[in-house]
Amino acid sequence: MRACERLIRYAKVWTTSDEHSGETPSTGRQFDLARMLVTEMKDLGIEDARVDEHCYVYGTIPATKGYEDRPAIGLIAHLDTALDCSGENVFPQIHQDYDGGKLEIGNGKVLDPDMFPHLKTLAGQTLITTDGTTLLGADDKAGIAEILTLAQLLLEGSDDATLPGGCDVSGIPAGSTGVKIPHGPVCISFTPDEEIGGGAYLLDLEAFGAEYAYTVDGGPPNEINYETFNAASARFDIAGLSVHPGRAKGIMKNAALIACEVNSMLPSAETPQNTEGYEGFYHLFDMKGNVERACVRYLIRDHSAQQFEVRQKMLRLIEKTVNEKYGEGTCTLTIDQQYRNMEEKIEPCMHLVENAKKVMEQLGLTVDTSPIRGGTDGSQLSYRGLPCPNLGTGGYCFHGPLEHISAENMDMVVRILLGIVRCYAQK
């Protein structure tokens, strides 16, 4: 079965997480996909496939005979989909032999190469899109599909009896059966709640069993991410005082206006729509309130640990300034740490990046190691002691109705994963 066929099945399972839940998993519906995957893994021959009480899926592909002493390599993807757009009642659309031009996908939504130039590079491929009413969920059900397609290939083998040595994967067809491919132990896990920053907290590293790992949770297939944002969320709760507006002078404290004042104290250019590359930002993503009470919520991001601290100090200064102006207790700031830049934990293990680069180059790809303007489960896992860079899935425009991926890109990712596993099978 090709990876794209798996994605289409998985996409139809509603797995959106819930940031307000306080439970793990944050939504019980993530178990629906987890249990489906455990059944599929057992059918493939992964005998120890299981899901725990927190919706973490585990399974191991034992090393082929004679390769038991090779490093155990982990592959991780997440079950949940983002809250930004509905993930319920997803109907994937298949566009064979896409011509690289404008594509109407439904509900008035159009994929336009003038807006997304990469579409021209997908000409001739089979494009998988939404119907314009939901997201697709390739973030990260594509990663799951690619990992399990690799698992099938390792367990069933390849038709190519003259497999090239070393890391060379140029002669290996993805998704065929026959000759077994030598490999060390491969550890698989699918996690809940990555989209709300909780995907790696309860992953049992001892049960997982990997020495090194990769998340398969990125964009184009030539992508390797080992630099991420440092990330936190911040919330200002504003307490106002409501009185009749006709007699309000010197008495009223309008919480909604104070919330606007809080936002005005932040640098207006340092927002997601104005920044790129290594530039950090404050992202106002929720604002609500009235005269009596208001709440302003932000995402805080920066690649530099030092600048990340500066951003948090700025928020604390705003809290102090507002309370000095309007009275103690008017403004309450809460900062929750989410994840850190994995770079310092990956640098001592750069073979993870170099091996992935080597495989991609052998497959004719131009490698992109640009910093990811976000984070993955690997951000947390690297700081928990499991070095874990991120690989692409082959998809684009995640978290919205314009999300799309190509079947051929997914095949390429399977070949990349196979090449990496073979790298670690060599002495």
Catalytic residues: 80, 194
Nearest to 379 by CA among 420, 344, 336: 344
| Cα 129-418-12 angle, rounded to 5 deg | 30
Q: Is the peptide bond before 25 cis (omega within 30 degrees of 0)?
A: yes
With H, G, I as helix, E, B as strand and everything else as coil, classify residue 338.
strand
Cα dihedral sign, 117-419-369-305: positive
Query: Measured between alpha carbons, how far is 208 from 145 in angstroms, rounded to an integer?
Result: 19
Label residue 66 exposed, middle or buried (CB < 10 Å: 0-12, 13-18, 19+): exposed
Nearest to 80 by CA among 31, 40, 147: 31
Label residue 281 exposed, middle or buried (CB < 10 Å: 0-12, 13-18, 19+): buried
Phi, psi of 59 (to 5 degrees): -170, 155
